[in-house]
Structure 1
Amino acid sequence: MSEAQNPNATLSVAILSGKGGVGKTNLALNLSYALFRAGHRILLMDFDVGLANVDVLLGLSPEKNLQDLFRPDVTAEEVVLAVEPGGFDFLPAASGVPEMLEMDDDMREVLFHKLNKVFGSYDYLMLDLGAGISQTILSVAAMSQLRVLVVTPEPTSLTDSYAVIKVLHTQYGITDFHIIVNQVEGPADTQATFTRLSTACNHFLGFEPILLGGVRSDPALPAAVRRQIPLLRHAPRSPAAQDIVNGAVKLHRVRQQRQQALVDAPVLGKIPIIRK
């Protein structure tokens, strides 16, 4: 059985941010595309249930979305869309649906009971989560096997990103965070931004996150957004595209390091017990 067909080899990656406007969704899309181009089967799941927009970036108009999975007659296979033949699929979310923003345990159980039937067909489950610290975002981030936090050099982004890390650590005991610094001028900007966040985590929480890389500011990215295609298709040799590919390579190395642990692990585990 190939790696892509092994139902126990799927790595779930929650991509989240402390605040909006940091480029999280574009990074989720293009990291997914980079991994797909490297030969991996990808399911990109839009879980920004408040302001879903991955479909807009892809120029798609889905007929069904996550909200439809609460209907007994709708299966996960009916909601999944093929973005590229050969293994790049997409699960759209519902936008502007208040009841999806704060899903209770029963709603999550119904949703993931259906979705678990398709997750094992992929090497990566990439979850584009909303910004902030809503309970839905926190619970899915805690259930995921890996968390990638997107930050920018702006002080507000750093402050809000630290808040996300702190809440996930204090409530769920999580110490495993990977950081992508977006919209940087270069490596020095990446390192300085990461050092500020890492120092705060070490001082106040007793652990340090891991730097996955930086992505340079690039005019090719808004141009790709206007064309509604991934940056890696629009301008694959652009600085930001090269940085994203490097981040995808590092992400795959993490998956290889954890390969043995994935053998018996669920794609999305149970929510850890909340600490009092």
Structure 2
Amino acid sequence: MNQNTTLSLSIMSGKGGVGKTNIVLNLGYALHAMDITSMLMDCDLGLANLDVLLGISPDRNLHDLLQTGVDAEDVLVSIEDGFDMLPATSGVPELVEMDEDLQDILFKKLINIAGEYDFLMLDLGAGISHTVLSLAALTQLRVVVVTPEPTSLTDSYAMIKVLTTQHDIKDFLVLVNQATSAKEANQTFDRLNAACMNFLNIELRNLGFVHQDRTLVESVRRQTPLMKFAPQATASKDIVGIAKKLIRYREDNRERIAGRPILKDFPSE
């Protein structure tokens, strides 16, 4: 068995509207600019978002991947060389609460190609549905995207609590999005971290923050990722910094990554 070199991440949030999918997409572009390969998987099952931000209409999606005779290579969308996406679909209720049999089919097909990338990033739906929690438990790391809003902190704490108490997961990275300043971002992280330390006995890790940036709003309207639309924007520079931290983490933990499957329940063959 070849040693694993792929770092798998669940990008998640307690509530919707915190900019999680934009973070995922632009992180992929930032990694690509540094010659790091990545595969994005839109796991907001039943409510596709990544393809909308890119302004594309893929011919196939995750629903097709569950059909007999369809492989992941048939569904993958190439965004750039070495930067690919597995799109989700909209309006398919059975995917929103995916049962274990469907998950087994999906990830056994996915695992055959995931090892070709440096990073595998799962863009999960918001909240604490069974599907979100079970997918989050599969990856090697979890990145929780929060904003300074109290509702975001409350819902993120609830999500972390469920994963900790029901799935025995204790390692979380926190990314503060839409922060007006470094001070506000640090205060946001400190509040969430204090609650987790006091009530769950776990310590979170601060991955950094992304400034609130009007340029991002315009890039969404134009269906052009921020890293392409305005690479010198403040938020773009923040995302590049976060991408560098993830690259450093992968480099520093090569032995640990090599000793674990890309997705816990689906070891590479």
Normalised TM-score (structure 2): 0.96
Within the alignment, does 1:178 sit opposite 2:178 as a pair? no
Structure 2 counterpart of 1:121, one-letter code: E
State which drifts further: 256-265 or 15-24.
256-265
Within the alignment, does 1:83 sit opposite 2:79 as a pair? yes
Q: Give runs of aligned pairs for residues 189-208 of structure 1, distance below 5 A.
A: 189-208=184-203
Query: Offset at 1:7?
Result: 6.6
For 2:92, which of 90, 94, 97 is the aligned residue? 97
Residue 223 of structure 1 corresponds to 218
SS of 1:143's partner is coil
Query: Offset at 1:50?
Result: 3.1
Does the CA-based 8 Å contact 2:3-2:259 persist in structure 1? no
For 2:9, which of 13, 19, 23 is the aligned residue? 13
Within the alignment, does 1:69 sit opposite 2:79 as a pair? no
Aligned CA RMSD, in angstroms, stands at 1.2
Structure 2 regions of 5+ residues with no counterpart? none
Number of residue pairs matched? Answer: 265
Query: Offset at 1:252?
Result: 1.3
Change (3 A) 1:171 1:258: same
Residue 22 of structure 2 corresponds to 26
Residue 123 of structure 1 corresponds to 118
SS of 1:220's partner is helix
Query: Offset at 1:228?
Result: 1.2
State which drifts further: 152-161 or 257-266.
257-266
Does the CA-based 8 Å contact 1:162-1:201 persist in structure 2? yes
Distance 1:141 1:68 in 2: 22
For 1:41, which of 10, 33, 37 is the aligned residue? 37
Structure 1 counterpart of 2:127, one-letter code: G
Identity across the alignment (%) = 55
Q: Residue by residue, what CA displacement relative to the aligned partner does 1:150-177 show, whole Å, maximum 9, x if unpaired? A: 0000000000000110000001111100
Structure 1 counterpart of 2:76, one-letter code: V
Query: Offset at 1:255?
Result: 1.2
Within the alignment, does 1:149 sit opposite 2:137 as a pair? no
Query: Offset at 1:25?
Result: 0.3
Distance 2:77 2:122 in 1: 15
Structure 2 counterpart of 1:140, one-letter code: L
Q: Residue by residue, what CA displacement relative to the aligned partner does 1:49-98 show, whole Å, maximum 9, x if unpaired? A: 032110010111001001111111211100001011x2010100112211
Distance 1:207 1:88 in 2: 34
Structure 1 counterpart of 2:62, one-letter code: L
Distance 1:138 1:190 in 2: 26
Does the CA-based 8 Å contact 1:46-1:54 persist in structure 2? yes
Does the CA-based 8 Å contact 1:51-1:95 persist in structure 2? yes
Runs of 4+ in 1 over 2 A off after TM superposition: none
For 2:129, which of 127, 134, 137 is the aligned residue? 134
Change (3 A) 1:40 1:228: same
Distance 2:90 2:132 in 1: 15
